[in-house]
Chain A
Amino acid sequence: DTEVTQTPKHLVMGMTNKKSLKCEQHMGHRAMYWYKQKAKKPPELMFVYSYEKLSINESVPSRFSPECPNSSLLNLHLHALQPEDSALYLCASSQDLMGAQFSGNTIYFGEGSWLTVV
């Protein structure tokens, strides 16, 4: 079962709202990711968690706050967003073979959460 589940599928929020996007995987993966995808553009990396620790933050504004409560869950907390933050937010996961020879980790993506900021 290679499934990454994201909720909600669609979210509309005002610029003063606080909301969260949620992601779950049960593949035993220890690396989890958030990507942002604008219309007609490729996904752009936002955050990487490895073994529940934040290992990469691609200079993302602080109005986006990631959280990894355990190895299966990844959240993205949203606060004071701007209309230009409207996009498809993709969660992904992969095995993280630290210390082992890299063999081309496959990154599995969820269906995404469509965010509209009004």
Chain B
Amino acid sequence: AQSVTQLGSHVSVSEGALVLLRCNYSSSVPPYLFWYVQYPNQGLQLLLKYTSAATLVKGINGFEAEFKKSETSFHLTKPSAHMSDAAEYFCAVSGSSRIDRRALTFGSGTRLQVQP
């Protein structure tokens, strides 16, 4: 079964600093990987997704992620943090079977704090 592990439940950066949120996946077949963001008291919003078309994926709000098969990683980055980026970030994977692919399995989440 596919799964993802997010390293670091809390990450704190200064405004303007690089944001790096880590996600490693476990999958026996090429996975489909996603990053979602959840602002306080809101639902989940898709930031970006990897579907094997390109290893470097650009998303909304200046975020991007790189799929590295050799490292089984899909880390999320942003060159310069804004205060508005403070939120919970979830890495997620969907399966490749006809049933599994319709559902997402989430990592434990990383709370990003941005200091002024």
Q: Known interface pairs A33-B103, A104-B32. Does A111 touch B49 (Cβ–Cβ under 8 Å)? A: no
Interface size bracket, A side: 20 to 34
**A104 pairs with B49, CB closer than 8 A:** yes
**B43 pairs with A110, CB closer than 8 A:** yes
Q: Which residues of B contact A44 (CB under 8 A)?
A: 106
Does residue B55 face the partner (Cβ distance < 8 Å to A)?
A: no
Q: Which residues of B contact A48 (CB under 8 A)?
A: 102-103
Q: Known interface pairs A102-B32, A106-B49. Does A111 touch B102 (Cβ–Cβ under 8 Å)? A: no
**A90 pairs with B49, CB closer than 8 A:** no
State which of B50, B94, B103, B108 has its C-beta within 8 Å of the C-beta of A42: B108
Give min CB distance, B19 to chain A, whole Å. Answer: 20
**B65-116 at interface with A (beta carbon < 8 Å):** 90, 94, 96, 98-99, 101-109
Q: Known interface pairs A56-B99, A96-B102, A102-B32. Does A111 touch B42 (Cβ–Cβ under 8 Å)? A: yes
**B96 pairs with A102, CB closer than 8 A:** yes
**Complexed CA–CA distance, A108 and B94 (Å):** 14
Q: Which residues of A contact B103 (CB under 8 A)?
A: 33, 45, 48, 56
Q: Which residues of A contact B98 (CB under 8 A)?
A: 98
Does residue A103 face the partner (Cβ distance < 8 Å to B)?
A: yes
Q: Known interface pairs A98-B98, A104-B32, A106-B49. Does A112 touch B43 (Cβ–Cβ under 8 Å)? A: yes
State which of B32, B45, B107 has its C-beta within 8 Å of the C-beta of A109: B45
Please name 9 pairs of A and B residues whose Cβ atoms are closer than 8 Å in the assembled complex, sorted by A: A41-B109, A43-B44, A48-B102, A104-B32, A104-B51, A104-B94, A105-B94, A107-B34, A112-B42
* Contacts A55-B102, A104-B32, A108-B46 supplied; 15 other A-B pairs, CB < 8 Å: A41-B108, A42-B106, A43-B104, A45-B103, A45-B104, A90-B43, A92-B44, A94-B102, A102-B32, A103-B51, A105-B101, A106-B49, A109-B36, A109-B44, A112-B42
